[in-house]
Chain A
Amino acid sequence: MLERRFNPITGEWVMISSSRQKRPNLPKDSCPICPGVLELPGEYDLVSFENRFPALKKDAPNVENNSNVLIKDKSQGICEVVVYTEKHNSELSYMPIYQIEKLINMWADRTKELSSYEFIKYVFIFENKGKEVGATLPHPHGQLYAFPFLPPRIQLKIESLEKWYSEKNSCAICDIVKEEKEQNERIVYETENIIALVPFYARYPYEVHVYPKRHVETIYELSNKEKKEFAEVLRVITNKYNGLFNMPFPYMMMFFQKPFNINKTTHFFHFHVEFISPMRGPNLIKWVASVESGTWAFINPIEPEQAAKQLRDVEVKLDEI
């Protein structure tokens, strides 16, 4: 079954994706995205391809609504697997910056292409890294979901940014960047055009946000220089994560950009990245349990200023590849 269902209690759309084609038999320990194994027949540099088991499909089956209460719709969208490199034993934290720059350009092009479909309202780029966050494949890759609706947290971000703009006539993130630079307590790493910090309002212990200092609404509006620095910042943050407890650090990396095709102004949306991790110490997991899951109210056991200092202090050598 592939459809989405509406929850009138919360206003959420839930994607139901239960059809599982027979998973091809692969020899143990073989990687489906290594060249020549399963998905990618030969050598490649970077590639983005439609997910074999998608939650959203471009040609999703039509869905008939039989009820005015239990409402459903077709899951029309696009889910892609984004492969960063053909090198199996690599990861963002030590990939050459030049390769990350290319990756950024691919993300930008994917965004541009997918947003040209009228039915796509949101392009969400992300990476789950580590088995603690459910990623089983070590080969460096991420994913993207091109949604036919605005997911609730995106809706919330738009509303909050809009409210801020209506009241103050400025962009909240532009204001935050200014203030954080002045206070200089939570900055983890900074280049001329990009800033990475543990936000004042961090929900997770080692949450890191990356903000371009210039107001851009999408990843494809970044300048070449900004893209270069953005690549460096992604490389540094993931590397600092690994250095924090001297262990492979699991994280979720999520990109937020303006929505598309929604017939509403969102020029106050400021492109940004959120890194979150379930780790709260060496071998200690912060579980997202009842309070967080049920109410979306978070309790952070570590002061953001403290987390920022710890991350700032992790040394990163940029030339070691």
Chain B
Amino acid sequence: MNILNNYFDGEYLEFNKDNYSIKLKIEKIPEGYIIRGKVKGKLGKIDIFDDFADEDLFINNWQSWSPTKKIKVLNYKYNIPDDWKKTAKYSAHPMPEYLENNIISDYFIAKKNKVYGFLTSKIAHPFFEVKDNKIIACLEYFEKNADEYIDIEPLIILENNEMEKLLEIYADYVKFENNPKFSKWNPVGWSSWYHYYEELTWQDTLKNLELSKEYNYEVFQLDDSWQKDIGDWIPKDSFPGFDIIANKIKEYGYIPGLWLAPFSVSEISEVFLKHKDWLVKDENGEPKVAYINWRKNIYALDTTHPEAQEHLKNIFLNMRNNGIHYFKTDFLFAGAIPGKRYVEVTPIEAYNIGMKIIREAIGEDFILGCGAPILPSIGYVDGMRISADTAPFYKPNDLDFVYPNAYYALRNVITRYFMNGKWWWNDPDCLILRTEDTELNDKIIEMYSYVSGLLNNMILQSDDLSKTIKKDVYFNSLKLRGGIPHVKGLMNDNYSFEIEAFNTNIGNVKMHVDLEKINFKLEYDEDYPQLNKNTVLREEDNRLFHYYEERDNNA
């Protein structure tokens, strides 16, 4: 095997560069190899492996909203719109300039029968660069000084199988390496965002709670709207306190959920005005703008600053102690922007520190990650958005970027299917099931919902429930969950895929789906005896008895 033109056959491959020393070691696994190693010195971008590229590659960009897709290497360019570069460049990448001028794939990359992937992102940002017919595996350490050897992020190389299968195996190895403990509960519920956006009122909340009774939700989540400001995570005057919000939702039997952007701080928030020292700084020591949104400059909380850490912890403790037990944590990439921090760490380390604080504060409550770097979030979140925002429109000809668009959102729901249930529960973003106030037609509504169900993803609906709703689609998508799905066709040119799921709630189901032509076909397995289970505890000797009997479908 060749590593950077060094033929390698022994235990360790050791080499010294100007600024650093590195030792690499190869481990044989049944499906290929894992390269582990150690590095020390002044660490910038380090190349650790290369191999030949194909004309067609399957690439992935770094966070929740970014695309994962097949590309043709020739003439490929990641199109970052100019306005985006001004307002939100770090949402596209921790090294946005680098992304603009190179073909890169973050965390993993694949060709027809080979997958290369990093197993962790604890210190460095791992990515692949495609250059001169080569795939180069790189680690970006953001000028970290390591006096002693530190472990590199391990790299896995899987080969000789169909790519989709290899991606599933890659997901397994990432799981073993990170050993994430996430909730066994794969949520079903309601979210306010895709109908009310920032306009949600407490009256709307009460109205929808009352109308929600027929849906059997498990969680009821208010999105961006309830808070005083970005960074000031207390209810604004027109909303009641956390305890009343939580109790009202609990009255209907749901877990109360709230949206927040814990690493984001707006320029007019109290936190910004009073605690500029809590924020990530630029080269001149001034608070650094992480992105622009809500027509405001948004800064990033420095998760290494002790007071900011205390503040972050208290935000969640306060919500949790008042009865909120589901947290949609958004714009998480803000925690990983490069900049000056209280403690000298890489942006990735800072992100990990921040996520750890949140996880410790909320214990076993549910965290949904959103706008979040993929690999560093493993182990901290229970659910993860794996697509760009959905929308009440579907536009195949629009720019494939992090803009809301049901078309590209659904594409990513499929291309990132292999992460589900292994790293977290995939959140395909909300189902929009109303037939008014939407450009989505019935076919799109069904296609989006059934793909999400069949891939056993989280199901959250986002409608004003007083509108006309395709309720049967909601219940049908729930019936399609519970199975073990496999996808074929990730390398197809035209976004047509085949999804096969074994042992769903209604048996085996196959779905052919064509996103471009807006077409799908569901094929069901033969009928079979469905069982009801009734578990009884025998008190006298503490034994469980599980009674099974055929389900009476007419009852």
B29, B160, B173, B543: residue with the most chain A Cβ atoms closer than 10 Å:
B543
Distance between Cα atoms of A10 and B527 in the complex (Å): 47
Q: Which of A142-195 contact B (CB under 8 A)?
A: 162, 165-166, 169
A44-87 interface bits toward B, Cβ cutoff 8 Å, 1 = contact, 0 = none: 11111110100000010000000000000000000010000000
Is A48's CB under 8 angstroms from B546's CB? yes
Q: What residues on A are CB-neighbors of B173 within 8 Å? A: 265
A264 close to B176 (CB less than 8 A): yes
* A265–B548 touching, CB < 8 Å: no
Separation of A47 and B535 alpha carbons in the complex (Å): 10
A224 to chain B minimum Cβ distance, whole angstroms, is 4
A44 near B547 (CB under 8 angstroms)? yes
Determine if B274 is an interface residue (Cβ-Cβ < 8 Å): no
Interface string of B162-188 (1 = CB under 8 A from A): 000100110011011001000010000
Whole-angstrom CA separation of A237 from B112 in the bound complex: 43
A47, A59, A227: the one within 8 Å of B547 (CB): A47
Does more than half of chain B's interface fall in helix, strand or loop, or is it mixed? mixed
* Selected contact of A225 from candidates B168, B175, B526, B546, CB within 8 Å: B526
A310 within 8 Å of B (CB atoms): no
Segment at the interface with A among B348-356, B445-453, B501-509: B501-509
Q: Is the CB of A162 within 8 A of B526?
A: no
Q: Which residue of A has the minimal Cβ distance to B535? A: A113
**Cα A110 to Cα B161 with chains together (Å):** 32
Contact A50 B160 (CB under 8 A): no
CB <8 Å contact, B549 and A108: no
B81 within 8 A of A: no
* Smallest CB gap from B168: residue in A: A267
Instruction: Please tell me if the beta carbons of B508 and A224 are within 8 angstroms of each other in the complex.
Output: yes
Smallest CB gap from B532: residue in A: A45
* A91 proximal to B (CB < 8 A): no
Name which residue of chain B comes closest to A227, CB basis: B528
Check if B525 is an interface residue, CB within 8 A of chain A: yes
Asked if A252 CB lies within 8 Å of chain B CBs, one says no
Most buried by A among B165, B484, B503, B507: B503
Task: Assess whether A46 is in contact with B548, with CB atoms less than 8 Å apart.
Answer: yes
Q: B525–A224 contact, CB under 8 A? A: yes
A267 and B527 in contact, given A45-B550, A106-B548, A221-B502 (Cβ under 8 angstroms): no
Contact residue among A50, A101, A108, A228 (Cβ-Cβ distance under 8 Å from B544): A50
Check if A18 is an interface residue, CB within 8 A of chain B: no
Please measure, in the bound complex, the distance between the C-alpha atom of A106 and the C-alpha atom of B551, giving whole angstroms.
13
Q: A48-B546, A102-B548, A106-B548 are in contact. Are A224 and B30 (CB under 8 A)?
A: no
> Are A265 and B549 in contact, CB atoms less than 8 angstroms apart?
no
Q: Which residues 133-183 in B have Cβ within 8 Å of A in the complex? A: 160-161, 165, 168-169, 172-173, 175-176, 179
Q: Return A85 CB to nearest CB of chain B, in Å.
A: 11
A166→B525 contact, CB < 8 A = no
**C-alpha gap A73/B423 in the complex (Å):** 30
The reply to whether the CB of B529 lies closer than 8 angstroms to some CB of chain A is yes
Q: How far is the CA of A221 from the CA of B179 in the complex (A)?
A: 24
CB-CB under 8 A from B179, the residues of chain A are: 263
Complex Cα spacing A217 to B45, Å: 41
Measured between beta carbons, the chain B residues less than 8 angstroms from A105 are 528-531, 548
A268 close to B (CB within 8 Å): yes
Is there contact, CB below 8 Å, between B541 and A52? yes
A220 at the interface (CB under 8 A from B): yes
Within 8 A of B (CB), among A11-63: 21, 39-40, 44-50, 52, 59
Q: In this assembly, does B31 line the interface, its C-beta being within 8 Å of a C-beta of chain A?
A: yes
In contact, A98 and B176 (Cβ under 8 angstroms): no
Tell me the complex Cα distance, A265–B547, Å: 33
The chain B residue sitting closest to A162, CB to CB, is B30
Closest 3 CB pairs of A and B: A224-B528, A45-B549, A50-B543
28 A–B contacts from the bound complex (CB under 8 Å): A21-B541, A44-B547, A44-B549, A45-B549, A46-B549, A47-B545, A47-B547, A47-B548, A49-B543, A98-B529, A102-B529, A106-B548, A108-B503, A109-B548, A110-B546, A116-B184, A162-B30, A166-B30, A220-B503, A221-B484, A222-B502, A222-B503, A223-B507, A225-B525, A228-B526, A228-B528, A263-B176, A265-B173
Given A48-B545, A263-B175, A267-B169, 18 further pairs, Cβ under 8 A: A45-B548, A46-B531, A46-B548, A47-B545, A48-B548, A50-B545, A52-B543, A98-B529, A105-B548, A109-B531, A110-B546, A220-B502, A224-B507, A227-B528, A228-B526, A228-B528, A265-B30, A265-B176
Give me the interface of A with B, judged by CB distance under 8 Å: 21, 39-40, 44-50, 52, 59, 80, 98, 101-102, 105-106, 108-110, 116, 162, 165-166, 169, 216, 220-225, 227-228, 263-265, 267-268
Which residues of B are interface residues toward A (Cβ below 8 A)? Answer: 28-31, 160-161, 165, 168-169, 172-173, 175-176, 179, 184, 484, 502-503, 507-508, 525-531, 533, 541-550
